[in-house]
Amino acid sequence: MSDVAPLPTAGAHDGGVAHEIYPLGLKVAGRLVVVVGGGPVAARRARSLVEAGARVRVVAPDACEELSVLARVSAPGAVELVAHAYRAGDLDGAWLVHTATGSSAVDQQVADDAERARVFCVTAGDASVGSAWVPAVARTALTDDAEVTVSVTAGRDPRRATAIRDAVAAALQTGTLPLRRHRPSTTGTGRVWLVGGGPGDTGLITAHGRTVLAQADVVVIDRLGPRALLHELSPDVEVIDVGKTSGNHPVPQHEINALLVQHALAGRDVVRLKGGDPYVFGRGGEELAACHAAGVEVEVVPGVTSAVSVPAAAGIPVTHRGVARGFSVLTGHDGAADVPGGPDHTLVLLMGVTRLAETADALVTADRPADTPVALVEDGFGPRQRVTVGTLSDIAERATAVGVRPPAVIVVGAVVRLSPAWAQQAR
């Protein structure tokens, strides 16, 4: 009795319908591909082939401007323009043929000649004539040496294929599809991405930030990062919480730097997920330097800074024509006595709740009077977002009365009067 299982017949696992095509990727670099036709469709095909490294022979009595330009700007020998109508012998040496002449009779002749020469042929006019199809393609670059390519065919319905391709491409770009590698890095060393996660709302991280997060083996996250995104990660992704609160830094910065380097040198891809932007009081520069010193490749993915987005969530623009011509961003940990500008220059303070009374007193100058408007926006975009408004003279007292607590962004300047909270208080 044989122990070898019989091979399944075509369609055995799909309702008995045999598949019409066998999906395959072709390496055409350095190989001759013939494009028959001189119009825009032929030009698009030729350009894609040149980008893939093929040697392209274009056969057409007349070539459109795009083809002429392609021949001029491509590397020597990459594009050969043959200025005559298709004839026998034009396919000699070809590995693949694309025909897009606009003439069904010529396309049929090219397909017949290709069949006899055992060369696969793509026909743009009538897909049923050819022996190969060009799918709709979505590509997403993951690292310098890796790329995800998704090809879609849809029963000779190019619009359906394109619609599906676009949906897949969007899912790849937003990181909603699993992009993690399952084979070790070819170099033995992982990468680090310093990702600005925005003010905490999962919709305000950039598309590139979502893409690299979907590739991570390890995520090192801050308290103010978009933590809801952690629920979308695979269970085997290691999450390291290094969140800091006012006066409580359980993981010092030098240990965070060491964590990034340690995991990357072990061959893991690491995302350092921060709130806001890595370079706006995020200590991203220190982490970048630590990775470079250890020979670890690192990329900074900018984020939406809370210095601008959180005031916007409360209806406060940091600049406004006729009200504020500029703005400055400071940390509330530092003294604010020397900050230039009056009420028409917006001041945004981050991490300033603890020293609010001291800071408000220091900000009162001849150019910035005590009645300058102030807004405190707590937990911007979060479930307990709240806006407290007042002036430099009374904002500390108002904050104490309502129990303002971090995280909060402080906005000082005339733009605060544009907020709904200020209008409500006036009423």
Catalytic residues: 222, 244
Let me know: does 199 contact 306? Beta carbons within 8 Å: yes
Contacts of 203 (CB under 8 A, 6+ apart): none
Whether the CA torsion 33, 36, 40, 41 is positive or negative: it is negative
3-state secondary structure of 128: helix
Characterize 135-146 residue by residue with b for buried, 16 or more Cβ atoms within 10 angstroms of its Cβ, and e for exposed.
bbebebebbeee
Number of neighbours of residue 87 by Cβ within 10 angstroms: 10
Q: Which two tokens stand for residue 328?
A: 């400055």
Q: Whole-angstrom Cα distance, residue 168 to residue 133?
A: 19
Q: Which residue has the tokens 């707590």?
A: 378
Element (H, E) at 398: helix 395-402
Let me know: does 267 contact 188? Beta carbons within 8 Å: yes
Q: Whole-angstrom Cα distance, residue 58 to residue 72?
A: 13
Q: Which residue has the tokens 């045999």?
A: 18
Q: Which two tokens stand for residue 30?
A: 């350095």
Characterize 185-195 residue by residue with b for buried, 16 or more Cβ atoms within 10 angstroms of its Cβ, and e for exposed.
beeebbbbbbb
Q: Whole-angstrom Cα distance, residue 29 to residue 48?
A: 11
Element (H, E) at 168: helix 158-173
